[in-house]
Structure 1
Amino acid sequence: MQEVSLSSAMVQAKCPRCRKGNLFNVSVFSFLKLTEINGKCPDCGATITPEPDFFYGAMYISYAFSVALMVTVFIVLNFFFEKAPVSSYVLTVLAGNILLMPLMLRYSKVLYLYGLGKLKYDPKALEK
């Protein structure tokens, strides 16, 4: 059986224990069911949500993503335009947040689960 690297499993939003099962019911890039995550891994059966409010801490990571997007927009607009109107900053940040919302929400949960979750990689998890 081929082992999946940690970075590949995180990018593909796979289970931290087996790195095969999907964390989300729909695609990571989908606007449908943004906040729903599987309770158990469909492949190894590991409990992904250890407690009911576990993913509230992922809001801080999502906030950091939004701040990083805002800073990036400010730097890019200041680089290309000498005196851009405030409305262009606001509209660009708003559009970027709306378009990237599924990625920011979902990857904040993935990072939080991999960083603070108790699930550790077990290459033999599917055999159990």
Structure 2
Amino acid sequence: MMLKGTKLYSIFTGACPKCQKESMYETKNPYVLSDVLKINEKCSHCGLRYRLEPSFFYGSMYVSYGVGIAFAVAAYVISNLIFSASLIHTFIAIAGTIIIFGPIIMRLSRNIWINMFVGYDKNAAKT
């Protein structure tokens, strides 16, 4: 169970990392591909500006690589080690996983990136 006030809550829900009262994204569904990366300007509850500086989220590309590798390793383990799939079927499973979970990987990476720089503030959450 993820409790409010933890970084994991903010990372997995996409909530404001400072107050965790609302979503950072204009559209909650990451599969609305035209809006997958559209982020609100600031939190209407605590006033945190999500773009801490110009091009802030470019750093999330580095996080995205690691998250993508984690998804690929999971696909490998499930397809090859559990189901004993052939090499080509394992490759297809990995590629399919990366394509299908691409929007989720992008959002998770942004959430992890901003949570590396902004912490939860109990006082901001109370107001």
| Cα deviation 1:47-81 (Å, max 9, x = unaligned) | 11111211111111111121122222222232222
Residue equivalent to 2:50: 48
* Identity among equivalent pairs (%): 26
Task: Give unmatched runs, 5+ long, in structure 2.
Answer: none
Q: How many residues align?
A: 122
Residue equivalent to 1:124: 123
What are the residue-to-residue correspondences of 1:6-85 with 2, within 5 Å?
A: 6=6, 7-32=8-33, 33-79=35-81, 80-81=83-84, 84-85=86-87
Which residue identity does 1:5 align to in structure 2? G
Displacement of 1:126 after TM fit? 5.6
C-alpha change, 1:121 and 1:103, in structure 2 (3 Å) is: same
Q: CA RMSD in A?
A: 2.2
Which residue identity does 1:20 align to in structure 2? K
Q: Which moved more, 1:101-110 or 1:7-16?
A: 7-16
Displacement of 1:41 after TM fit? 0.9
Whether contact under 8 Å (2:22, 2:45) holds in the other structure is yes
Provide TM-score, normalisation by structure 1: 0.80
C-alpha change, 1:92 and 1:127, in structure 2 (3 Å) is: closer
| Cα deviation 1:14-59 (Å, max 9, x = unaligned) | 1111110211111154333122222211222111111121111111
Which residue identity does 1:100 align to in structure 2? F
